[in-house]
Amino acid sequence: MSGDNVSGDNVNNASANHAVPLDMDRGGLDAVLGFHLSDSQWEAVSAPLAPGVIVAGAGTGKTTSMSARVAYLSAIGAVDPGRVLGLTFTNKAASALVSSIRSRVASVGFAEAEPSVFTYNAFASRVVTDYGLRIGHEPKATLLTDGLRYQHAYRMVCSLNDDEVGEGLARMGRRPMDVTDLMLRLDSELSELAIDPRGVVEHDRALIAQLDVLGSGRGIAREIAEKARDRMMLAVLIERWREYKTTRDLWEYIDQVRLAQRIVDQFPDTISDIRSRLDIVLLDEYQDTSIAQRQLLQTLFGDGFPVTAVGDPCQAIYSWRGASVDNIESFPQHFPRTDQRPASRYSLAENRRSGPAVLHVANEISTDLRAEHAGADPLIPPGDASPARVDVGLFDTIETEVEFLATRVGEVHAAVEKRRASVNGSDESIAVLCTTGKNIRRVDRALRARGIPTRVTGAAALLADPAVADTRALLEVVNEPTANTSLVRLLAGARWRVGARDLAVLGERAYALAGGHGRRDTDSIHDDLNDAVAGSDAVEATALADALADPGPTEHYSPRAIEAFAEVSDLVTRMRAHTSEPISDFIARAVRELGVDVEAALADPSGTSPSALDDFHALAASVTEIDGRVSLGGFLTWLRDAERFNVTIPHTRPRVPGAVEIMTVFAAKGLEFTHVFVPFVCEKAFPGGKPRGRWLTSPGVVPWPLRRDVPPHLAVFPDADGESISKQSDRYADHLRALEERNNERLAYVALTRAEESLTVTGHWWGAGQSKPRGPHRFLQQIRAAVESADPDMCRVVMWAPAPPDGADNPITGNGGVSWPQPVVPSLRAELTQAAAAVQATNTTEPIAVTESLSLNESSGGGETADEQRVRVWHETYEALMEDHRLDQVDEHVVRLGEHVGATTFLRALREPDAVALDLLRPMPRQPSRAATRGVAWHAWVETMFGQQSLMAVDDLPGAADKDITSDAQLEKLKEAFANTRYAGREPVGVERGFSVVLGGRVINGRIDAVFAEEDRFEVVDWKTGGTASIDSRQLAVYRLAWAQIAGVSWRDVDAAFVMVATGDEIRPDTDAEVESLLALD
């Protein structure tokens, strides 16, 4: 195809920055892009300026195709690249897309183009911000984070007292926290599916009436009706919750799309206003959009507006959070052409990521899946594809599987590090992809035990870290005497190591103290634990902490246990005396008392555990309750909510060169790795985790008949002319299970297609604690079949354990018991013993011996006298006060920079971290500066003189940092001086050029004063209107990286200079080292 393919009706005469449209053909586009497009890519890139969807298989270059399409349409004069809107799902993806578009359009002559790229929700938020007043939404409404969202919702539920709601909640028979959880989950799903809560009430009322007739109110019919009544109650609560937010000027992320839809529905002129600013819209990862997002986009950009959607239905793995794969499947009907013909569909199948063997396995596992989706073709390698290896294995037990995994990862890691040392710049990567946090921790322990560095992100790494878990356990015991599980963790841990027999006797004593008469006989340890925490009244609840101070007859325990009980009881008592401290200070005290900071530093030289403690401190400092502060109880409640409600907790282990990435398959989507391992592909273990409820038996799930993407076999329940309700329910559940299995198939496909050069997939028969064998998942069996039919030099079955005989015992737990407490690693025990001896040997300050230093009467019973006790309390109080004083002297807060940081703040943070931290911790208004205002005016004059002007945010105003222009006369002198510089008569390729570049995992935003081209090189310039005091060479380093990204060239081809406008001097520091140090931040 060529430029003639573009429909003349849709060509916008908006390419003012491009003097003459180019006669661009395929060869010409390949030349400017620097690589060859495949046949299918060229067809999609050069398609007419009309609605279209690109079904892009894994690794087929969807981002490249989108940016190349903008470049092609810009080159032929069909669109202005500054009037491009791109939407995607994450800030990282948005940054990558805008960088790719900038680079491609720069190659066809649009170096100044600034496309608009947002996340889908950020775009909806922008619509609400711009037009929200029309529906009464205040611009300064508070956006609720997850923690505050649950606190507000919980308080609202607890405060409802009218008869209708009170009776409904009483009938549900659930705790307020559980009701809050169900309400918010249902509200999220309704918002994503664009369903009104009143529709739920009407549907469930009709369902109950139908079930009463067909099922006579018995059996499964009664159970389904009960859940429907609960769901009706939740729908009423959701309406109250939305009213609660409106009256308090609150909103949350799930409200953004709903409110934006309400605006465009009620005020159609907003549609034409938004469209008037755009020539084309790009929709990235379209298979993951929700129905609500699709409806908003359809309202805004339907009826033939040029929309290009890109996605892969085989990678639609987010249905659990409201995504609908039907969006990409039905795009041609949802976004028809102006003549109402369905939009065109294009397919990309040439995978340039993975080797042939990996693609062979991925195609085999997705055969049925691809058959369901139009345009989802088998992946094919390019002609020059590098070979790849695929290994598959099935092991007897999870222990032998993990042992094989650790050994194999270790071999690959050693080989990669050897190549990295011999080949400069080798960028091979290794990843282990799991589906649950528990399995991530299992793999992490195994690899680290072999000395293999790992990198784990998120809550799984933070709350599971041993040092954090022990600290949290102490906090729980201090806050709540009945926190029995946490107390057991402390007592049975590495420090006190109390055995199971002593804990059992302690539990019996606690039961007796709570009013029982001894422990009842039970059949299992699970019953014992349940019995230990039985009792609905907190006063009557069994509390192990009570038994610590009063354990009963000492002869029932081992001597070590008696000593441990006294130490822990004393520790808890001391800590409770300080609960009024700020939470971050209190956690620091807990860490010191437990000594976990020292233990973490000794046990983990990599810094992983100390880093987790730092993040735990930072988390405590960042969590606030509705009234702006947080108590110990509030913080612990927030942590429990974070686990219960799946709230994200930011934590990333320190980046270690060559570390193996361990993450979930969901987190790996969109990434690629040289070597990929996918373990635990077993029945009932893949994908693992707690299954979502089904609407027939869970009130927190939206009924399928209400969904706009409902398949025909799920659209009706019950069928009045069908079988019994019981049989209909069983068949309906089978259909839902089949739907879930398709989603699991997509997840497996995503996992396999992350691999470039090698892929290893394994499973096992016996898991820990399993009474029946698991065996291979059908995916693992399909992979084995694919491997056996492929080239044996590239694919192999490394192990395939036979099925255990019927009635076989689990070899992991079938013989013998479990060691408890778990043994301490001998090397760690030796290190800790040596460290303790060193401390004792050098400690010259001995505690004061009260009975020797003071003439006090001896106690008659071997205990303290009243005077001795009084003196001891004095000393303890003095030590506590001195400790507080020392803490005041070294008080330190960890302050995090945001994910999006201005270049000025970023550079200042590198130069003056303490000052920036203080500014972020306690923001203070700054005195207005007339000099800075004149600096802005001077930069604006330069921009106008060059004949270019760009829109910018207030915080990005150039010249705001120029504080040396003290008068208007000096401003005029600067203008005259600038005329004498060699830049005055030159034509820049960029003026006040905005950029976004990712450094150290953060998006750095800023503007470059000017960019000039010199033959095959570029020069970035920063005007300095004052002295040299404000010069920071790292500023030019950032600018070099930013322009290299914009222009698609090496940063070594970009020069940089400070121009002292008043004198005409040009300062050109060597910034190569600074550039390399900035790149090393990643």
pLDDT band at 24 (very low <50, low <70, confident <90, very high): confident
* CB-CB contact of 1040 with 1075 (8 Å): yes
What is the per-residue pLDDT for 232?
Answer: 96
- Residue 640: pLDDT above 50? yes
900-1080: CATH architecture: Alpha-Beta Complex (3.90)
- Nearest to 38, CA basis, from 299, 385, 332: 385
Domain spanning 461-644: CATH 2.40.50.180: no
The tokens for 532 are 């230990």
Q: Measured between alpha carbons, how far is 610 from 607 in angstroms, rounded to an integer? A: 5
Half-sphere exposure of 908 (CA within 13 A, CB side): 15
3-class secondary structure per residue, 5-42:
HCCHHHCCCCCCCCCCCCCCCHHHHHHHHCCCCCHHHH
Amino acid letter, residue 354:
S
Q: Measured between alpha carbons, how far is 1025 from 961 in angstroms, rounded to an integer? A: 10
CA 277 to chain centre: 32
For residues 166-193, average pLDDT:
87
Q: Which residues contact 512 (CB under 8 A, 6 or more apart)?
A: 518, 552
CA angle 28, 34, 37 (to 5 degrees): 70
- Least confidently predicted of 119-123, 862-866, 1078-1082: 862-866
Quote the percentage of the chain above a pLDDT of 70: 78
* CB-CB contact of 478 with 579 (8 Å): yes
DSSP structure string for 1019-1060: EEEEEE-S-STT--HHHHHHHHHHHHHHHTS-GGGEEEEEEE
Amino acid letter, residue 1074:
E
CA angle 898, 903, 907 (to 5 degrees): 90
For residues 712-732, average pLDDT:
89
Give the chain's mean pLDDT: 81
For residues 549-571, average pLDDT:
90
- For residues 213 and 232, the model is more confident at 232
Q: Measured between alpha carbons, how far is 886 from 428 in angstroms, rounded to an integer? A: 47
For residues 182-206, average pLDDT:
95
- Least confidently predicted of 28-37, 221-230, 861-870: 861-870
* CB-CB contact of 478 with 487 (8 Å): no
Beta bridge partners of 62: none
Q: Tens digit of pLDDT for each residue in 83-107?
A: 999 999 888 888 889 999 999 999 9
**3-133+259-350 and 900-1080 in the same fold:** no
The tokens for 915 are 């000052």
- Residue 692: pLDDT above 50? yes
pLDDT band at 649 (very low <50, low <70, confident <90, very high): low
CA dihedral in degrees (704, 706, 710, 714; nearest 10)?
Answer: 50
What is the per-residue pLDDT for 7?
Answer: 36
- For residues 676 and 871, the model is more confident at 676
Residue 747 CB neighbours (<10 A) = 22
Q: Tens digit of pLDDT for each residue in 253-292?
A: 889 999 999 999 999 999 999 999 999 999 999 999 999 9
Task: Sort strands 84-88 and 52-56 into parallel, antiparallel or unpaired.
Answer: unpaired
- Least confidently predicted of 113-117, 361-365, 778-782, 825-829: 825-829
- Least confidently predicted of 196-200, 334-338, 764-768, 1025-1029: 1025-1029
What is the per-residue pLDDT for 666?
Answer: 86
- Nearest to 120, CA basis, from 144, 70, 85: 85
Q: How far apart, in Å, are the Cα atoms of 980 and each of 635, 975, 985?
A: 62, 9, 9
- For residues 822 and 874, the model is more confident at 874
Positive/negative CA dihedral, 117, 121, 122, 127: positive
Which CATH superfamily hosts domain 389-455+659-709+735-800? P-loop containing nucleotide triphosphate hydrolases (3.40.50.300)
3-class secondary structure per residue, 330-391:
CHHHHCCCCCCCCCEEEEECECCCCCHHHHHHHHHHCHHHHHCCCCCCCCECCCCCCCCEEE
Spans of all domains in the chain: 3-133+259-350, 143-248, 389-455+659-709+735-800, 461-644, 826-889, 900-1080
Q: What are the backbone angles phi and psi of residue 994, rounded to the nearest 5°?
A: -70, 150
pLDDT band at 212 (very low <50, low <70, confident <90, very high): confident
- Residue 887: pLDDT above 60? no
- Residue 950: pLDDT above 50? no
pLDDT band at 936 (very low <50, low <70, confident <90, very high): low
What is the per-residue pLDDT for 274?
Answer: 96
Q: Measured between alpha carbons, how far is 255 from 858 in angstroms, rounded to an integer? A: 72
Q: How far apart, in Å, are the Cα atoms of 1053 and each of 917, 1044, 1073?
A: 35, 8, 15
Which CATH superfamily hosts domain 3-133+259-350? P-loop containing nucleotide triphosphate hydrolases (3.40.50.300)
Q: Measured between alpha carbons, how far is 49 from 279 in angstroms, rounded to an integer? A: 9
Q: Tens digit of pLDDT for each residue in 661-677?
A: 998 898 888 899 999 99
What is the per-residue pLDDT for 1025?
Answer: 77
Q: Which residues contact 168 (CB under 8 A, 6 or more apart)?
A: 229, 232, 233, 236
- Least confidently predicted of 3-7, 238-242, 377-381, 484-488: 3-7
pLDDT band at 968 (very low <50, low <70, confident <90, very high): low
- Residue 229: pLDDT above 90? yes
- Nearest to 1046, CA basis, from 289, 112, 205, 389: 112
Among 430-439, 940-949, 962-971, name the most confident range.
430-439
For residues 788-800, average pLDDT:
92
- Nearest to 314, CA basis, from 374, 376, 365: 376
- For residues 873 and 184, the model is more confident at 184
Residue 647 CB neighbours (<10 A) = 16
What is the per-residue pLDDT for 499?
Answer: 87
pLDDT band at 964 (very low <50, low <70, confident <90, very high): very low
- Per DSSP (E only), the strands in 815-941 are 900-902
- Least confidently predicted of 615-624, 915-924, 995-1004: 915-924
Q: Measured between alpha carbons, how far is 760 from 51 in angstroms, rounded to an integer? A: 40
Q: Tens digit of pLDDT for each residue in 466-492?
A: 888 899 999 999 988 888 888 998 998
Q: Measured between alpha carbons, how far is 577 from 879 in angstroms, rounded to an integer? A: 13
Q: What are the backbone angles phi and psi of residue 182, rounded to the nearest 5°?
A: -65, -40
What is the per-residue pLDDT for 238?
Answer: 96
What is the per-residue pLDDT for 923?
Answer: 54
What is the per-residue pLDDT for 614?
Answer: 81
- Residue 625: pLDDT above 60? no
Q: What is the enclosing helix (H) or strand (E) of 1021?
A: strand 1017-1024
Task: Sort strands 900-902 and 1002-1014 into parallel, antiparallel or unpaired.
Answer: parallel
- Residue 949: pLDDT above 50? no
For residues 9-24, average pLDDT:
48
Q: Tens digit of pLDDT for each residue in 214-228?
A: 866 678 899 999 999
Q: Measured between alpha carbons, how far is 715 from 730 in angstroms, rounded to an integer? A: 15
What is the per-residue pLDDT for 1044?
Answer: 87
For residues 303-322, average pLDDT:
92
pLDDT band at 795 (very low <50, low <70, confident <90, very high): very high
The tokens for 375 are 């345009």
Q: Tens digit of pLDDT for each residue in 33-87?
A: 888 999 999 999 999 999 999 999 999 999 999 999 999 999 999 999 999 999 9
Task: Sort strands 1054-1060 and 1065-1067 into parallel, antiparallel or unpaired.
Answer: antiparallel
pLDDT band at 1046 (very low <50, low <70, confident <90, very high): confident
- Least confidently predicted of 331-345, 530-544, 699-713, 993-1007: 530-544
pLDDT band at 954 (very low <50, low <70, confident <90, very high): very low
CA angle 978, 983, 988 (to 5 degrees): 125
